[in-house]
Structure 1
């Protein structure tokens, strides 16, 4: 038996009602508890009803039984072994996926589940990400494990000291008139281009300081053709600092001279989602300048990350872009990695930002985590696969989901990969089909009787995680989501604007945000008709997305038969 950390499903309510746990919900909870006792594999911590009267419910899943061993640090281009074990007692396929190049190496386990694969380190200094996958095989569920290898080039060797002056033989008839050049007393000092001595730490902005306005006591009025009425709790004290119509040419060019690489940066402050880009041009100097790889990097919470790559011309010139397809504020640099005949060359560090095209409302601190017992987020260094079910959805639901996904990607930099539609539903009731296991995020529209996610009474949607793995990131311990859900109730008649609002809100839960008590935030728990993310929403989403850096999954226990604890989601009020 293993105790599993609680979290991660949150509800939204229509105004006006608050219901206690019904007999049906008690029966569902008792059935789940009975199933957990019979299975005797995982035990969910029981939840208590919150002040909204919603009873928590657990979803039992099978724990992964995959261990992987790989070196922590290698040099560029090195080939290294990845070994491990899938504890299933049968031979089954295993794949190793390089998440940068998407190259796949395959093998089969031994009868005892052991396997060995070979991976190749990339050509540049980076934190290289890999995933070992044991696909679904016969009746065995698919399992996977991600790990990182630090690719670090050795420091360049110090050049040899200059040779001593040669000896001159003087004959009686010839005396030199010049004084020999004195040999230098010390060898020249070479300072290799290094990395910052410390990485920036992303510190959450803390608990919201705003005062909750309470739960509305009336049904929301949804007017598709009119503008929503919003009563902000705070008035901005300064003029907006974002000009949506600005173009890259309005920002002066900034030059940056580095060790063996000169660069010029145009448009270092751009507007996100408008097609603008930071433009970089420059020249690699020294020897071996033709055909050099040039990497554009940004500094996130866990270190430098490659965002673009190009190659120099025969004279060493290059040009590249940082695309403003998400909201960020990050230092950036350009680097030409070392070759066999030339050392690493790097520009200076330049501040870059991609800002929202609107003025975010409310205080930046007005956001919360989805769980009070731990931080949940997806790994932004990997994609998030998803499937959708629109069989019972109202007209315009597909467009609403696409719009909401674009909004969450803009705010976080997370990358969503559509796998297609499904006939299944998240957290299905008995006899209702489930969503295929290849989808990490399941999005569906359904009535209350088809899912164990309680959509009764005033609840219009639920979103969050149903499964995750314990790991760590630049801030500390974290739970990486491996299975998320978004489900919207079909027993109401929303306008298209309201449908976008609730879908965007539930996606906020599905990436790790909780409710906000500020009415200017999309994550406020009642539908008020928001046009865009608020300042609190964006502060919270920044910690969940690409700027927060990659996640490293904790190693499994070293003793035989032990499996990593699988976190089981539960509903929260």
Structure 2
């Protein structure tokens, strides 16, 4: 074979190799694959505090592939839990979901270099309230200023501190139980970060890393508490918008509650009592104010400003049907907030003009 013929043969081999490579593709350029996948959501209904989700499934991909559990809010899907696959792509996601009401959940396996995104079918979870709420679900009113409602940003965890003050250290667990009730009614995330000497009625800024303070004080220190068992409010407010629809809203920035221990003898320091309204009932009422609920005339509701009639079993620190509907409207379901931009009809948003919204 001559030298020219050898070169021609080598050129043909190189050309065939190039064509085959372009058809097959290199491993790095291969399209993500989509293998068989399945999920079992297990039980999807329970009474809050008694059970939780136990989701099992299988998805293609290497070991340790990420899998997410997401919940639907007005502004889209939000991840509330996650896990990683084990052998053969199997995964399990377990946890608690004590947020009252019906919620849409789904499992997602995000896209990887080798695998396509897998979004499993949406499932509705129903979390029941552990008591029978009284009254009408329309019996609530939301705080507002010039027609603009107040709202905590649910994409932010509420970091709170307790000032046990005149109530002593025993009030810490008691207060945490009330905050947990609020959390279950709104879907907000909370985190207790310790004690403090701050009192919301002092109007002083909280210490760094603190969003809310609940203080057990006394009217001798704060005369504004006279004739009030407690006072609560959203504190500082800042102009913002909802991500879901850009609707203007006042973002709650420094919620707080101040309780008056001058009434300790008249209001039992408990959540349930057969004969008397309790300090726990007053506390959950004030927490409702702290997160944007106004007084309402229906005397069955916790947000009623005066004395309430007992149920058949006495007085209980429960949110009733209207309270629960109001807190749901104020809660995480509405979605996250975003910074306000001066444009349109609300270009004259003036934070400095907002009056005090502390309520008894």
How far the C-alpha of 1:371 sits from its partner, in A, is 2.8
User: Aligned match of 1:415 in 172, 189, 193?
Assistant: 189
Distance (whole Å) between structure 2 residues aligned to residue 259 and residue 539 of structure 1: 43
How far the C-alpha of 1:316 sits from its partner, in A, is 1.6
| 1:478–1:571 distance in 2 versus 1, CA, 3 Å | closer
How far the C-alpha of 1:440 sits from its partner, in A, is 1.9
| 1:442–1:291 distance in 2 versus 1, CA, 3 Å | closer
Task: With the length of structure 2 as denominator, give the TM-score of the two structures.
Answer: 0.76
Equivalent residue for 2:162?
388
User: Aligned match of 2:42 in 259, 266, 281?
Assistant: 266
User: Aligned match of 2:202 in 394, 417, 428?
Assistant: 428
Q: Superposed, which structure 2 residues align to 1:525-540 within 5 Å? A: 525-528=305-308, 529-540=315-326
CA contact (8 A) 1:284 1:317 kept: yes
How far the C-alpha of 1:273 sits from its partner, in A, is 1.6
Distance (whole Å) between structure 1 residues aligned to residue 221 and residue 297 of structure 2: 31
Equivalent residue for 1:445?
216
Unaligned stretches of 5+ in structure 2? 1-21, 24-30, 271-277, 309-314, 344-348
Equivalent residue for 1:507?
287
Equivalent residue for 1:313?
86
User: Aligned match of 1:327 in 97, 100, 108?
Assistant: 100
Equivalent residue for 1:277?
52
| SS of corresponding position for 2:232 | strand
Q: Aligned residues, how many?
A: 308
Equivalent residue for 2:64?
291
Unaligned stretches of 5+ in structure 1? 1-161, 164-189, 193-257, 558-562
Equivalent residue for 2:111?
338
How far the C-alpha of 1:406 sits from its partner, in A, is 1.7
Task: With the length of structure 1 as denominator, give the TM-score of the two structures.
Answer: 0.49
How far the C-alpha of 1:567 sits from its partner, in A, is 6.5
Q: Superposed, which structure 2 residues align to 1:102-121 within 5 Å? A: none
Distance (whole Å) between structure 2 residues aligned to residue 265 and residue 347 of structure 1: 10
| SS of corresponding position for 1:491 | helix
Equivalent residue for 1:158?
none
| 1:402–1:511 distance in 2 versus 1, CA, 3 Å | same
| SS of corresponding position for 2:165 | coil
Q: Once the two structures are superposed, what CA deviation does each residue of 1:526-550 show, in whole Å capped at 9, x if it has no partner?
A: 2433342111111111122222221
Distance (whole Å) between structure 2 residues aligned to residue 298 and residue 322 of structure 1: 13
Equivalent residue for 2:133?
360
Q: Once the two structures are superposed, what CA deviation does each residue of 1:48-102 show, in whole Å capped at 9, x if it has no partner?
A: xxxxxxxxxxxxxxxxxxxxxxxxxxxxxxxxxxxxxxxxxxxxxxxxxxxxxxx
| 1:572–1:336 distance in 2 versus 1, CA, 3 Å | closer
How far the C-alpha of 1:514 sits from its partner, in A, is 0.9
How far the C-alpha of 1:434 sits from its partner, in A, is 6.9
| 1:534–1:379 distance in 2 versus 1, CA, 3 Å | same
Structure with the bigger percentage of helix: 2
How far the C-alpha of 1:564 sits from its partner, in A, is 8.2
Distance (whole Å) between structure 2 residues aligned to residue 460 and residue 490 of structure 1: 7
CA contact (8 A) 2:149 2:250 kept: yes
Task: Compute the RMSD of aligned alpha carbons.
Answer: 3.1
User: Aligned match of 1:371 in 132, 136, 144?
Assistant: 144
Q: Once the two structures are superposed, what CA deviation does each residue of 1:143-201 show, in whole Å capped at 9, x if it has no partner?
A: xxxxxxxxxxxxxxxxxxx98xxxxxxxxxxxxxxxxxxxxxxxxxx9x9xxxxxxxxx
CA contact (8 A) 2:49 2:98 kept: yes
CA contact (8 A) 1:259 1:347 kept: no
Distance (whole Å) between structure 1 residues aligned to residue 341 and residue 163 of structure 2: 35
Equivalent residue for 1:553?
339
Distance (whole Å) between structure 2 residues aligned to residue 305 and residue 530 of structure 1: 34
- Does 2:176 correspond to 1:402? yes
Equivalent residue for 1:120?
none
- Does 2:235 correspond to 1:460? no
How far the C-alpha of 1:339 sits from its partner, in A, is 1.0
Distance (whole Å) between structure 2 residues aligned to residue 303 and residue 489 of structure 1: 41
How far the C-alpha of 1:278 sits from its partner, in A, is 2.1
Q: Once the two structures are superposed, what CA deviation does each residue of 1:242-301 show, in whole Å capped at 9, x if it has no partner?
A: xxxxxxxxxxxxxxxx99532111111122122x1122111214xx35332111111111
Q: Once the two structures are superposed, what CA deviation does each residue of 1:496-526 show, in whole Å capped at 9, x if it has no partner?
A: 1311111111001111111122222111112
Equivalent residue for 1:484?
255
Q: Superposed, which structure 2 residues align to 1:138-149 within 5 Å? A: none
| 1:322–1:547 distance in 2 versus 1, CA, 3 Å | farther
| 1:295–1:488 distance in 2 versus 1, CA, 3 Å | same
| 1:504–1:572 distance in 2 versus 1, CA, 3 Å | closer
| 1:336–1:523 distance in 2 versus 1, CA, 3 Å | same
